Structure 1
Amino acid sequence: MSEQLSLLLPVWAGDRADFLEDAFRSSVDAQTRQPDQVVIVRDGPVPAELSAKLAELAAGSPVPVDLVELEHNQGLGPALDAGLAACRHEVVARMDADDISLPHRFAVQLPIIETGIDIVGSGLVEFADDPDEILATRVVPTDPAEIRQRARFATPFNHPTVVYRRSLVTAVGGYTDFAKMEDYLLWAKLILADARVANVAEPLVKYRVGAGAYARRGGLDLLRAEIAVQHRFRELGFTTPAQYARNLVVRGGYRLVPEGFRRSVYRKVIAPYRR
């Protein structure tokens, strides 16, 4: 059965208008199978240039656009939950405001969802300034058993690539306000709810790696978030005591090592890459 699709795209004051336009047009205008609705969540006030770009994109969109305007910046998890409430269709695709979807992304992912899958992600490629200059490819497990196994140590999905069923996401409580780890926690809850999971090995999104990307993956704030999510996993019964201890040592330690070493560990252990 053919499914209709809502595209969920959050925006906040730190986003750039030109990057937003690239993200929107690549995920809407340029798609060989376009979404049926776009939900943009404005997470708090934004600069005038970004506000004008939002209005321009909505006015010129080939599909209906609903703008959810949050009075104050609430963070990614609450913003996405507010956006999910505005999605009119059962199937929802995520997109970030600075990445680029490949033209056939939804033409690949929607048929997989239509077979009865609850969530499907994909590989992605990283770029810095020029989207055509690929720095690396982030690979994902594709076997459902491997996805579930991987989730006990690291996120098994690239968040900006996922398409999922809204009813199941809301049934497990949505993203919630779990800063910096809201997506990882959601994947754990979906797997515990016996979600039917899949990944496409092919990269379907180009992911923008800005300055300081690996610096932001470390520090005390990330360490606190890491410890909090690992505690939550144990409370949910998602990890065993041995997995919990391993994750605190490996993933927690990763947050505290120097940036250069962190980059190497991330690419080899946390989120495998290929050149």
Structure 2
Amino acid sequence: MPRLSVILPVRNGERTIARAVTSTCRALPADAELVIFDDGSTDSTPTLLRSFESASVRVITSPVSVGVATALNMLIDRTDSEFIARMDADDVTLTGRFGYQRRAISPGAAVNFTTVLEWRPDSRRVSPAAPLPISARAFPYHLLMTNPVSHPTLFAKRAALVRVGGYRQVPAEDYDLWLRLASEGIGIRRLAIPTLLYRMHPQQVTSSLEWRHASWTDRTVAAAFGRLSDMLLGRPFSRLVSLGFDATVGPQEVERTLADFAARLESAIADLPPWDRRILMRRLAGRCEAVRAMGRTDESGATVPQP
């Protein structure tokens, strides 16, 4: 039985899947496997995947698309390893990734992520992110303001993912899972060293304003956020970004909510190391300003982009 299963869902990924699979296989430890879910692809992806099948690469095929959350849960159900790692069909795994992340698993952090190198193939440009780690103690507070990690860098103990029921069918299935993990007291951290070339392109789902609005207003994710904020801050809050476009909430109520959130957060993190506190308060300031900017217009009448 492999100790690690790297799970990779793909749909119509003929342009990028070969490099994603090849780079992942090169980084696989001897006791690991790559398991790919072909989510009803209608291009040449199925043919490409068959050429990769081997003792360490398995392919599961669905004749119709079931969506990413269901595909990921099926991948988890069809594997039995101690550890689960994620990979996407359009990214590139860097050498040494899985050993580095497995060594970082500990009783206090059953889940970890890493930073990434943002990769824009059209311009042949790679942009390194600041190599800033996030400790297991600070991570839940970061989740109250944003999703601070890239989903395909996930490395986790299977038991942690199973404990919270895996992925759910929501617009931000990854963020929703992190919220539930944190609410269960499962330690999560972000490691400093990048392990992935993360492809940036205009067609990314998360760059769509429609997708963002769906994520911000989803009741299931809102409930998960409320549970975590109640646990950490002593009161269930709505996601801060939802304040910026909720027409029923006036400017004064927005300011009162932001002030209450900030006061509770500052009190809750008072015993964290100074570095963690500074980063969190800086992130909070940026998030509050973004919320205030939503709906404003500049001198030309153009709407300020939403976070």
TM-score, L = length of structure 1: 0.80
Instruction: Work out which of the residue numbers 46, 50, 72 in structure 1 matches 2:45.
Output: 50
Moved more, 132-141 or 66-75: 132-141
Of 15, 19, 23, which aligns to 1:22? 19
**Code of the aligned partner of 1:210:** H
1:84-114 CA deviation, whole Å, 9 max, x = no partner?
A: 0111202011000000111011121111126
Summarize the Cα distance change of 1:162–1:234 in structure 2 as closer, same or farther, 3 Å threshold.
Answer: closer
Shift of 1:176: 1.7
Which residue of structure 2 aligns with residue 225 of structure 1? 215
Q: Given the superposition, is the C-alpha separation of residues 218 and 86 from structure 1 closer, same or farther in structure 2, using an over 3 Å criterion?
A: same
* Cα deviation 1:227-261 (Å, max 9, x = unaligned): 11552225535456574262312598689899996
Q: Could you tell me whether the CA contact under 8 Å between 1:122 and 1:140 is conserved in 2?
A: no
Which residue is 2:238 aligned to? 244
Q: Which of 184, 193, 204 does residue 193 from structure 1 map onto?
A: 184
Larger relative contact order, structure 1 or 2 (CA cutoff 8 Å, min sep 6): 1
Structure 2 partner of 1:269: none
CA contact (8 A) 1:124 1:138 kept: no
Q: Which amino acid aligns with 2:3?
A: Q
CA distance in 2, matches of 1:33, 1:260: 49
Aligned to 1:149: 141
Q: For residues 140 and 155 of structure 1, do their structure 2 counterparts lie closer, same or farther at Cα, with a shift above 3 Å needed?
A: farther
Secondary structure of 2:213's partner?
Answer: helix
The residue number in structure 1 matching 2:175 is 184
Alignment of 1:119-198 (within 5 A): 119-129=111-121, 133-137=125-129, 141-179=133-171, 181-198=172-189
Quickly say closer, same or farther: Cα 1:44–1:260, change in 2 above 3 A: farther
Instruction: Report Cα offsets for 1:165-221 as digits up to 9, x if no partner.
Output: 112212211102113x000010011111111222211111110011344x8534334
Letter of the aligned partner of 1:8 in structure 2? I
Structure 1 residues 18-56: Cα deviation after superposition (integer angstroms, max 9, x where no partner): 41111111111x217356111111112331x21111001
Q: C-alpha distance in 2, partners of 1:32/1:130? A: 28
Partner of 1:70: 62
Looking at structure 2, the residues matched to 44 and 255 of structure 1 have their Cα atoms a distance apart, in angstroms, of 38
Distance 1:142 1:182, change over 3 A: same
Residue in 2 that maps onto 1:273: none
Which residue matches 1:272? none
SS in 1 for 2:38: strand
| CA–CA distance in structure 1, aligned partners of residues 124 and 110 of structure 2 | 31
Matches within 5 A, 1:93-132: 93-113=85-105, 117-129=109-121
Show structure 1 runs of 5+ residues with no match: 267-275
3-state SS, counterpart of residue 143 of structure 1: coil
Would you say the 8 A contact 2:229–2:236 is kept in 1? no
In structure 2, the gaps of 5 or more residues are: 247-290
Aligned residues: 253
Question: Could you say what the CA RMSD is over the residues aligned between the two structures, in angstroms?
Answer: 3.1
**Structure-1 residue corresponding to 2:199:** 208
Distance 1:78 1:25, change over 3 A: same
CA distance in 2, matches of 1:147, 1:43: 32
Question: Which secondary structure does the structure 1 equivalent of 2:69 belong to?
Answer: helix
The 2-side partners of 1:225 and 1:109 are apart by: 29
Aligned sequence identity (%): 21
For residues 70 and 20 of structure 2, what CA distance do their matches in structure 1 show? 21
| TM-score, normalised by the number of residues in structure 2 | 0.72
Q: Which has the larger radius of gyration?
A: 2
